[in-house]
Amino acid sequence: MGPWCSVDVGRVLLNPSEPPEPRQTCGRGRGANTVSWRDSDKQQCKTPRGWVAGDVVRQCRRVGAPGPVVPCVRCLPHPHPLFGLRARARTSSSWQTSSLESAYKSAYKSESALPPCPALLFVRPTSQRHTQTHRHPYTHTMAADKIAPNDPRVERKQAEVRGKTYSYLYSKPEGTPKGTVVLIHGWPDISLGWRYQIPFFLSLGYRVVAPDCLGYGQTSSPEKLEEWSLKSMSDDIKALCDQIVPGEQIILGGHDWGGALVWRAAMWHPDLIKGVFSVCTPYSAPTTAWFDLADIIAAGHLTNFKYQLQLRGPEVEEKLTKPEDIRQFLQGIYGGRGANGELAFNTDRGVLFENLGKIGPTPLLSEEEISYYTDNFVKSGMRGPVNWYRTRRINYDEELPLAEKTAAEGGDYKVTPPSLFILASKDTALPASMAAGMGKHFADLTRGEVTATHWALWEAPEEVNEQIKQWIESKVDKKPTASL
């Protein structure tokens, strides 16, 4: 493929504040290296990576060139990342081998200096876009699309499930959904924790369901601790899906405690699940041996879980009650620091109450988002969220028959649905060592990794989303190969 758009590359890199002028004005019938375009408020641009219908306001095609529509720099609506402004782009890290990729790399000579490829942009009309800037591993700033609190792209719904009320975010793509993705958040989080992933799954054509988990947001917080076991909450997921998408197999994803829950849901309800993925949380198999967490830590193991001793006790539930303290706790656990580097939380002690008044804003949430989070945690309180840390013995007792059966058969229990685990390399609570050897417990495990802390969904959304996309395409929705 020849030059798909005639742009002065030097000016793009050296003066990104101005839209670059093409060497030839875009227009119909001006030679092999020019493009034509047509304006439209709502039309689908079918680029090599696939754009969302209705999100693109202009598209163009190189005159006389067969194949997919390829937008040029001159024809794309602004803002545009080549101009140093905000848009979503997929860069060389997510390119597929193609003549377009080769031409683009050739034009820039050095892969280390690649800006986002204009043919791989995801641009929303300004009125619909909610973005936050992130640093990309290459040389430029990226912005990932995300939903906002009370975003018109999602609905807040409720369902009565096994005697409990579950509140959840619900969103459908344009047209008929190709399937359903159910997203389970962790601690301390809410359904909005998937704000960077919900638009992504919609762009792939999936319906999205993201519940507030038990004890969070507008979901029930039952008194009986047995309701908080991983098996009981797995049964809740099954019952919720039976209401929303009866008879359908789902893709189930989780983060943090949500990751632990989706592994168990795949264990207890494998027929429900078409594919299962966890970000940050490795799989741990059911075991016949019981050890209390305090004894394990005292023996020098799982010292990264020391904070859980505080969370399962009464201190956090009793002390984190005032709205200003809850807000400061959330600011700190989401990366906020004091003027002298003070922390609000660490894995050795848990919540550092003496530092809460010193903590500055989180770099990961906007003012609107942190206020929304605070309101949700003030309403729900902290008893529900910390109850997840109080069921270790209940989980063990419920899983013991399965562990004994597996041991008697002399094998390893295997999670049967196609599975994806994405490690966050800088996660101090869930380090890489915890994932060692987990592959033997899976029939089909794909492993990924991102350079991020525990909040990988927000720190590296493009990388997380791309790894999920590749896994879905290769393992979950792969088309059977025709035999000759």
Residues 6+ apart with CB under 8 A from 227: 164, 214, 233
Angstrom distances, CA of residue 201 to CA of 15, 43, 58, 146, 398: 34, 20, 23, 11, 34
CA 477 to chain centre: 19
Q: Is 454 a catalytic residue?
A: yes
Q: At what angle do helices 323-333 and 367-380 cross, to 10 degrees?
A: 120
Please pick, among 130, 256, 427, 441, the residue that the annotation labels catalytic. 256
Residues 6+ apart with CB under 8 A from 54: 42, 43, 44, 174
User: Which residue in 116, 117, 107, 120 sits closest to 136, CA to CA?
Assistant: 116
Cα torsion for 186, 191, 193, 197, to the nearest 10°?
110
Distance from the first to the final alpha carbon of the chain: 32
Task: Please state, in angstroms and rounded to a whole number, the distance separating the CA atoms of residues 284 and 302.
Answer: 13
Residue with tokens 């101005």: 18
CA distance 380 to 360: 24
For residue 420, the cross-strand partners are 277, 446
Cβ–Cβ under 8 Å, residues 337 and 360: yes
| Whether the Cβ atoms of residue 117 and residue 109 lie closer than 8 Å to each other | no
Spell out the SS3 assignment of 105-174. Answer: HHHHCCHHHCCCCHHHEECCCHHHCCEEEEECCCCCEEEEECCCCCCCCCEEEEEEECCEEEEEEEECCC
From the list 67, 77, 63, 69, the residue with the least C-alpha distance to 34 is: 63
Tokens standing for residue 378: 């003030």
Sequence letter at residue 85: L
3-state secondary structure of 331: helix
Q: Are 286 and 402 in contact (CB under 8 A)?
A: yes
Q: Which amino acid is at 57?
A: V
Residue 130 annotated in active site: no
Q: Give the residues across from 351 on adjacent strands.
A: 345
- Bridge partners, 168 (sequence order): 157, 211
CA–CA separation, 416 and 431 (whole Å): 25
Of 136, 185, 441, 454, catalytic: 454
Residues classed as catalytic: 256, 454
